[in-house]
Chains A and B, each alone.
Chain A
Amino acid sequence: SRITLVIHGGAGTITRQNMTPEKERAYTEALNQALQAGYTVLQRGGTALDAVEATVRVMEDSPLFNAGKGAVFTHDGRNELDAAVMDGQTLKAGAVAGVTVVRNPISAARAVMEKSEHVLLTGTGAEQFAREKGLTIVEPGYFYTEARYQQLQKALASEKGAVPDQLNTPTKTTPAAPVPTKTKTKTKAGKPQGYAEPPIFTEGRKYG
């Protein structure tokens, strides 16, 4: 048997500097607990699908990870949760996005895969579907943790001083872009004259 389980709990600015021994121990313990939950399913002859759902549910219920309880906050101070699952045998898949009252979004994603003919449901429709399929529904406040709420306050504070980007700027008439001239001459860098990088994100401001 080659039963195998691999998990992740998120990536980002996780350095030794911003970690304490207690925190490191707590994360290691939580990851081991999640591994054991899924591996026990596999050892008992359960399916890979059951194993990944069981594992992710443990991490959704842990306030340490950015999923389920302990998820980060939106700009409006809410928790909007997303999840997806895929079955390698049938290529069936299910996902939910923007749900705010489903305790375990991964189970809602699995319900979409197995109990609907869709792949992705979002927002209040996804919540209604979850309710109809008997999933555990909680108050929005269930997902709240002080640490994540403070992270939002920090992001909002850093936003206050930032230069408003395109998304924030109120719409106003701007002079029409100059019509590109027909004859294009290539610069050494291989970019046509007059080419400008599209300003998608303001450098350094990832959140928000």
Chain B
Amino acid sequence: TVGAVALDQYGNLAAATSTGGMTNKRYGRVGDAPIIGAGTYADNQTCAVSCTGWGEYFIRVGVARDVAARMEYGRQPLAAAAQATLDKVAQLGGDGGLIGLDRQGNITMPFNSEGMYRGYIKANGQTEVLIYK
């Protein structure tokens, strides 16, 4: 799975996710990536999120919207909201990660699997690409 979240100069957020799904899948199985609110979500008032991981758990938790809802209702900051939601996935036995971005330009990239290909570029040009924990 691949994904991107962006904040433009007009203050708008957007999120995108694309995947081949799970190796050896049957019966037209679909994971979280194309399910809005599970693997992909964006709302200017809270955050933009793109997920990657064991889809069934991300769907059952509704991860992408859960992160935004924690910010909206619980007034949690992005990083805390993302970590709390990912902890919920782990409690159920799922693994994976997500990238998140809010309208102040704050970034979060938590994951509880062994690694996650991830990276960012900020307004000042600061950029980083990471693979392992």
Interface positions of A (Cβ within 8 A of B):
1-16, 19, 24, 27-28, 31-32, 34-36, 38-39, 42, 45-49, 51-53, 55-56, 59-60, 65-68, 70-76, 79-89, 91, 93, 95-98, 105-106, 109, 119-120, 122-123, 143, 148, 151-152, 155-156, 159, 167, 206-208
Contacts and interface: CB of A to CB of B under 8 A. Distances in A.
Given A4-B121, A71-B20, A83 B33 contact: yes
Contacts of A46: 8
Contacts of B103: 2
26 contacts: A4-B123, A7-B2, A8-B2, A11-B115, A12-B114, A13-B114, A14-B113, A14-B132, A15-B115, A24-B131, A31-B117, A34-B2, A35-B129, A42-B9, A47-B8, A47-B10, A48-B14, A51-B4, A56-B4, A66-B2, A81-B19, A82-B30, A83-B17, A87-B12, A206-B22, A207-B25
Nearest to B132: A16
Given A56-B18, A72-B22, A91-B43, 6 more contacts: A4-B122, A6-B5, A8-B1, A11-B116, A74-B25, A85-B14
The 8 closest A-B pairs by CB, nearest first: A71-B20, A14-B115, A9-B117, A88-B13, A88-B42, A48-B14, A52-B16, A11-B116
A74 B24 contact: yes
Interface in B32-51: 33-36, 39-44, 48, 50
Contacts, number: 313
Most buried by A among B18, B19, B41: B18
A159 B24 CA distance: 10
B52 A8 contact: yes
B71 to A, nearest CB: 12
Interface string B34-75: 111001111110001010111000000000000000000000
A45 B17 CA distance: 22
A60 to B, nearest CB: 6
B125 to A, nearest CB: 9
Contacts of B100: 6
Nearest to A32: B129
Contact of B30 (A35, A47, A98, A143): A98
A151 B23 contact: yes
A6 B120 contact: yes
A8 B118 contact: yes
- Chain B contact patch, size range: 35 or more
Interface in B83-129: 95-101, 103-105, 107, 109, 111, 113-123, 127, 129
B81 interface: no
A6 B118 contact: yes
Contacts of A85: 14-17, 40
Contacts of A42: 6, 8-9
A13 B92 CA distance: 19
Contacts of A65: 1-2, 117
B77 interface: no
Contacts of B42: 86-88, 91, 93
Contacts of A12: 96, 113-116
Contacts of A151: 23
